[in-house]
């Protein structure tokens, strides 16, 4: 296995542990394919993707194509390398059929859900939004259809009430890397046989947009609690108080009733009524300010019972 040539394709933080794990396991990684640098921040300076940063630290060759569908340069690069395997982890684009046919053992992917559940762009957020008690990672064969390839291996992880999208992302990225390097030798040797997914049980999750973070106080407290966890840190679960936007990063379902969005307690605790039950706001970020506790928000913004979050 030490001589196995593995081309890696990935872009965000989620993919970094998988790339590191491949190198630490002794695989030859002749090429890392990642998305182009993107403008970021107020100055719109070009920022390299996390996988590029890590690949350069490891001394690996990096290629950043704008497109891969009919990319002659990439075709020639891969032909020259003649990889045994291509590993994908959150690359960010659908792979063309020609690329899937290049490596001897095909293309495998690290996906952050227990497929066939939560195919698509936001499996981590979807698991939290739906109040799942567990999720996991899947190593799967890549086919032209989205996340529909045969499952090679899976591993579960518990979702706790303290988890948000960031903490669950970190758990799953580490777990995916561990499972990847455990799976490759078993897959190559034929010890593990890929199993087709049950397409009748497939669910899909869309790309997350900023607008999805708007809180509807008419929903039950439990749903809003899950939403806050799913959208922290990005795009943030937001509402408005006295005309200014606020982002909620930590809340807790509690007993209480009132009009949806109404502050029903504003002494030591900041409690807001929902469509069913209430939420204690533990951490809140006022527009243009740093994040503070609910108690600090009460004092700083003179919050009183009867005020409304919209």
Instruction: Name the pairing type of β-strands 107-111 and 134-141.
Output: antiparallel
Within its chain, how far is the Cα of 211 from the centroid?
17
Instruction: Name the pairing type of β-strands 38-40 and 45-47.
Output: antiparallel
Please count the other Cβ atoms lying within 10 Å of the Cβ belonging to residue 238: 18
Residue 307 · residue 263 · CB < 8 Å: yes
Helices (H), 58-157: 72-81, 97-100, 123-129
Ramachandran quadrant class, 300 (left: phi over 0; alpha: psi -120 to 50; beta: rest): alpha
- Known binding residue 49? Answer is no
**Which 3 state secondary structure label does DSSP give 153?**
strand
- Known binding residue 31? Answer is no
The structure tokens 């567990």 sit at 134
- Known binding residue 114? Answer is yes
- Known binding residue 115? Answer is yes
Q: Which of 142, 14, 25 is nearest to 85 (CA)?
A: 142
**Which 3 state secondary structure label does DSSP give 65?**
coil
Binding residues for (6S)-5,6,7,8-tetrahydrofolate: 113-116
Q: Show binding-site residues.
A: 113-116
């Amino acid at each position: 296995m030490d001589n196995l040539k593995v081309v890696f394709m990935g872009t965000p933080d989620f993919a970094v542990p998988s790339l590191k794990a491949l190198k630490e396991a002794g695989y030859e990684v002749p090429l890392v394919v990642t998305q182009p640098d993107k403008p970021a921040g107020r100055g719109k300076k070009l920022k390299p993707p996390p996988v590029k940063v890590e690949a350069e630290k490891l001394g690996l060759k990096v290629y950043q194509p704008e497109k891969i569908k009919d990319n002659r340069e990439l075709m020639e690069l891969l032909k020259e390398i003649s990889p045994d395997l291509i590993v994908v982890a959150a690359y960010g684009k659908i792979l063309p059929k020609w690329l899937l046919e290049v490596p001897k053992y095909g293309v495998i992917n690290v996906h952050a859900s227990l497929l066939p559940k939560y195919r698509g762009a936001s499996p981590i957020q979807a698991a939290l939004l739906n109040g799942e008690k567990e999720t996991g990672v899947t190593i799967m064969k890549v086919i032209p259809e989205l996340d529909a390839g045969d499952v090679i291996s899976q591993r579960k992880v518990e979702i706790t009430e303290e988890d948000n999208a960031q903490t669950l992302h970190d758990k799953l990225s580490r777990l995916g890397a561990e499972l990847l390097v455990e799976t490759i030798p078993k897959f190559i040797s034929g010890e593990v046989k890929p199993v087709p997914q049950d397409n009748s049980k497939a669910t899909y999750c869309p790309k997350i947009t900023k607008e999805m973070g708007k809180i509807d106080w008419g929903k039950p407290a439990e749903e809003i609690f899950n939403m806050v966890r799913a959208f922290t840190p990005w795009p943030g679960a937001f509402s408005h108080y006295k005309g200014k936007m606020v982002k909620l990063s930590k809340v807790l379902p509690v007993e209480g009733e009132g009009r949806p969005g109404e502050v029903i307690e504003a002494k030591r605790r900041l409690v807001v009524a929902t469509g069913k039950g209430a939420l204690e706001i533990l951490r809140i970020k006022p527009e243009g300010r740093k994040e503070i506790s609910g108690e600090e928000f009460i004092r700083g913004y003179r919050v009183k019972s009867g005020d409304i979050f919209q």
